[in-house]
Chains A and B, each alone.
Chain A
C-alpha cells in the first residue's frame, strides 16, 4: 500500500512540472497555431542562468532566470516567428526546430558540453518525510507551486481583460481582431507568460537534479508536447491535463516497472500515447464535438 502512495506522490509531482510546461506550449499554440519546439530552449536558458548566478542572492538569481527566458521568448518571436505568421504549418514547425537546433549549439558553445550545476534550490533536495514513504521537499514544492501557478493562470485568463482577449484569440483570432482585440498585445502576453512558465519549470527541474545540459529543455518539451496533443490541444485545460497525465504515467511506470523492464519505460509510455491517439484522436479529455480535424 505504501508503495502505491509513493508512486502516486511521485507521479503528481512530475505531472505538475509537465503540466506547467504544457500550459506554456498550449498558450502559444492557442494564440498562434504555432507548435513551438524551441520552447525547450526557454527552459534551458533559465536553467543556465540559475547555474551562472548560483552564488547571487536567491531572489535575484530567480528573477534573472525569469528575465532571461522572457527575453528569449520575446526575441524569438520578433526575429523569427513574427515573419512566419502566414507560412504553411510545416514551415513554422521546421523553423522552430532550426531555432532550437541553433540555440542548443549556442549553449554548447557558451556553457560547454559537460553541463553546469545549478545548485540554487539544492536545499529543497532533502528529505521532508521519511519512513514508509519518502518525500523530498522538492516534491512538495513541485506540487504546491504547480497547483498555485495553474490556479493563478486560470484566474488571470478568466478575470483580467488581457486574459479574456487571449482566450478569445485562442478560439478564433480573426473574429477576435474584428471585435477590436489587439493581436500584437495578446501575442506578446502569450510569449511573456510562456517565458515565465519556462523559468519556473527550470527552477523545479534544477531543484530536483541540479545538472544543466544543453538538451535539458528539449527532453521536457518533447514529453510536454506529447501531453498537449494527447490531452487535446484546442483547449488550455485539456492540454494541461494531458501534460499532467504524461508526467504522472511516466513517473508511476518508472517506479513500478522492475529493473529489467525499466529501460523500456519510454516504449511503454509511447505505446500508451499511440493507443490514446487512435482511440481519441481529438484528445483524451476533449469534448465529443472536438474531432481532431486536420490542422497541420
Chain B
C-alpha cells in the first residue's frame, strides 16, 4: 500500500463519517435536523482545536474565543441593516454601516479568527505546558468579558438575534469536510510534521533545529481560522447567540470531545465530537421521554448531564488515549504487506467514489 493510498484512506474515513451524518440529517424529520447541524458545527470546532492541540500537544482553553469572535463578527455583519440602530445602538460605525452576505461573513469570521490567533499567539506561544493552558484561559476570559460588556463591538449581555439562518445541512457538512481536509493537509506538510516532532520531544526537536515558537504559532493561526469559521457557521445555524453560549461550558465540552475521541488524530477528533454531541442530544431528549420502540425512557431533569459526565469519565479511565487511541482511520484487516493489489484498489475506489459525489 503506497503512502498516498494510506493518506487517502486516512482522510476518507473522517470525511465519509461527516458526509454520512449530513445525509442522515437530511433524511431526518424537520425538528431533528438542527441536532445534526449542531453536531456538524461542533465537529468543525473540534477539528479547529485539533489542528493546534493535537499536533502540538499543548492544551489550549482559548479556542472558544476564536469561535466567539467568528460568531459575533459574522452575526453583526449579517443582521438586517434596518434593525441595527435599534438592536445595536452603540456599535462602532465600521460595524454599524456595513453588511455582507452570509457567505462572505463566513470568510470574514475565519479571517478574524486567524488574525486574533496571530495577535495573541505571537506572545503566548512562547509558553508551554500549564502556563500555556492558563494563558489561553486568560484570553478566553478577557474575550468573554469584553464581548459581554463592551457594546461598541456587539450586543453586550443581550442576545444577538435576527441573524439569517443560512447554515443548512449542506453548508454544515461542507464546512466540516473543508475543515477536515485543511486539518489533514496541514498535518501532512513539513510544518505539520515538524510540529508533531516538537510534541513528541521538545528538547530533541529544538536540538534538531526546529523553531518551536514559529511552528506552534503557524498551527495556532490555522486553527484560529477554522475555529472562527466554525463560529460563523454556529451563529448562522442558530439565528441568535449570547456570550454565554461561547464560553466555559463549550470550552469544556469541546475539549472533552477531542480527548475522548483521541487528541492525536483527526479521526479521533471527528469520532469524539460526533459521539459526544449525539449522546448529549439524545440524553437530553430522554429527559422529556424518548421512545425506544419496546420501552420508553424518561429521565428526571438534569440526570442526562450526570450520565454524560460519567460516560466521558468511564471512556477516559478505560481508554486513556481516547477511543481511537490517537490513531488515524484505517480499514480493518487492510495491511501494508500481505494485501494483494487487487482488492486493495477496489477498496479505495469503493470508498472514494460515493464520498466525492455526495460532498460535491
B255 pairs with A35, CB closer than 8 A: no
B259 pairs with A277, CB closer than 8 A: no
A296 to B139 CA separation, bound complex (whole angstroms)? 19
Given the interface pairs A95-B317, A99-B313, A274-B124, the reply to whether A109 lies near B306 with Cβ below 8 Å is: yes
B139 pairs with A274, CB closer than 8 A: yes
Among B1-9, B18-26, B90-98, B129-137, the stretch that binds chain A is B129-137
A248 to B26 CA separation, bound complex (whole angstroms)? 54
Provide the residues of chain B in CB contact with A193, threshold 8 Å. none
Residue in B128, B142, B252, B322 with the greatest tally of chain A CB atoms within 10 Å:
B142
Among B70-78, B183-191, B297-305, B328-336, the stretch that binds chain A is B297-305
Interface residue? A156 (CB, 8 A):
no
B127 pairs with A281, CB closer than 8 A: yes
B255 pairs with A229, CB closer than 8 A: no
Provide the residues of chain A in CB contact with B310, threshold 8 Å. 98, 102
Given the interface pairs A88-B321, A109-B306, the reply to whether A102 lies near B128 with Cβ below 8 Å is: no
Provide the residues of chain A in CB contact with B134, threshold 8 Å. 225-226, 229-230, 273, 277
From 98 to 123 in chain A, residues with beta carbon under 8 angstroms from any chain B beta carbon are 98-99, 101-106, 108-109
Closest 6 CB pairs of A and B: A102-B309, A105-B305, A87-B320, A270-B138, A98-B312, A294-B128
A277 to B316 CA separation, bound complex (whole angstroms)? 30
Interface residue? B12 (CB, 8 A):
no
A296 pairs with B320, CB closer than 8 A: no
A278 pairs with B305, CB closer than 8 A: no
B142 pairs with A270, CB closer than 8 A: yes
Interface residue? A80 (CB, 8 A):
yes
Find B300's partner among A109, A233, A278, A281 (CB 8 Å cutoff): A109
A-B pairs with CB below 8 Å: how many? 143
Q: How many residues of A contact B (CB 8 A)?
A: 46
Interface residue? B145 (CB, 8 A):
yes
Given the interface pairs A109-B302, A278-B127, the reply to whether A84 lies near B316 with Cβ below 8 Å is: yes
B316 pairs with A292, CB closer than 8 A: no
Among A135-143, A198-206, A261-269, the stretch that binds chain B is A261-269
A277 pairs with B256, CB closer than 8 A: no
A295 to B132 CA separation, bound complex (whole angstroms)? 11
Chain B interface main SS type: helix
Chain A nearest CB from B198 CB (Å) reads: 10
A-B contact pairs, 16 of them (CB 8 A): A35-B130, A94-B260, A94-B312, A94-B316, A102-B309, A105-B302, A109-B302, A229-B133, A230-B134, A267-B141, A270-B138, A273-B138, A274-B123, A274-B139, A294-B202, A295-B130
Interface residue? A132 (CB, 8 A):
no
Find A99's partner among B130, B135, B309 (CB 8 Å cutoff): B309
Interface residue? B119 (CB, 8 A):
no
Chain B, Cβ-Cβ closest to A113:
B302
Given the interface pairs A84-B320, A267-B142, the reply to whether A101 lies near B252 with Cβ below 8 Å is: yes
Interface residue? A55 (CB, 8 A):
no
Q: How many residues of B contact A (CB 8 A)?
A: 47
A83 to B315 CA separation, bound complex (whole angstroms)? 12
Provide the residues of chain A in CB contact with B128, threshold 8 Å. 292-294
Chain B, Cβ-Cβ closest to A280:
B131
Provide the residues of chain A in CB contact with B259, threshold 8 Å. 90-91, 94
Interface residue? A184 (CB, 8 A):
no
Chain B, Cβ-Cβ closest to A230:
B134
Given the interface pairs A90-B59, A295-B129, the reply to whether A266 lies near B142 with Cβ below 8 Å is: yes
A80 pairs with B313, CB closer than 8 A: yes
A102 to B148 CA separation, bound complex (whole angstroms)? 27
Find A98's partner among B139, B303, B316 (CB 8 Å cutoff): B316
A281 to B138 CA separation, bound complex (whole angstroms)? 14
Interface residue? B263 (CB, 8 A):
yes
Residue in A80, A104, A267 with the greatest tally of chain B CB atoms within 10 Å:
A267
A17 to B303 CA separation, bound complex (whole angstroms)? 32
A102 pairs with B320, CB closer than 8 A: no
A264 to B317 CA separation, bound complex (whole angstroms)? 39
Interface residue? B211 (CB, 8 A):
no
A102 pairs with B305, CB closer than 8 A: yes
Given A94-B316, A97-B255, 14 new contacts (CB under 8 A):
A35-B130, A91-B320, A95-B316, A98-B313, A102-B306, A102-B308, A105-B303, A222-B137, A229-B130, A267-B141, A270-B139, A271-B138, A277-B131, A294-B202
A248 to B137 CA separation, bound complex (whole angstroms)? 20
Provide the residues of chain B in CB contact with A183, threshold 8 Å. none
Interface residue? A124 (CB, 8 A):
no
Provide the residues of chain B in CB contact with A281, threshold 8 Å. 126-127, 131
Given the interface pairs A229-B130, A294-B128, the reply to whether A274 lies near B138 with Cβ below 8 Å is: yes
Chain B nearest CB from A108 CB (Å) reads: 5
Scoring A residues 65 to 106 as 1 if CB is less than 8 Å from chain B, else 0, what string do you get? 000000000000000100110111111011101110111111
Provide the residues of chain A in CB contact with B301, threshold 8 Å. 109
Interface residue? B149 (CB, 8 A):
yes
A105 to B137 CA separation, bound complex (whole angstroms)? 23
Find B302's partner among A35, A87, A95, A108 (CB 8 Å cutoff): A108
Interface residue? B146 (CB, 8 A):
yes
Provide the residues of chain B in CB contact with A278, threshold 8 Å. 123-124, 126-127, 135
Chain A nearest CB from B272 CB (Å) reads: 10
A222 to B146 CA separation, bound complex (whole angstroms)? 19
Chain B, Cβ-Cβ closest to A273:
B138
Given the interface pairs A95-B313, A273-B138, the reply to whether A296 lies near B133 with Cβ below 8 Å is: yes
Chain B nearest CB from A38 CB (Å) reads: 10
Chain B nearest CB from A55 CB (Å) reads: 26
From 182 to 196 in chain A, residues with beta carbon under 8 angstroms from any chain B beta carbon are none
Chain A, Cβ-Cβ closest to B156:
A263
Scoring B residues 232 to 262 as 1 if CB is less than 8 Å from chain A, else 0, what string do you get? 0000000000000000000010011001100
A226 to B127 CA separation, bound complex (whole angstroms)? 15
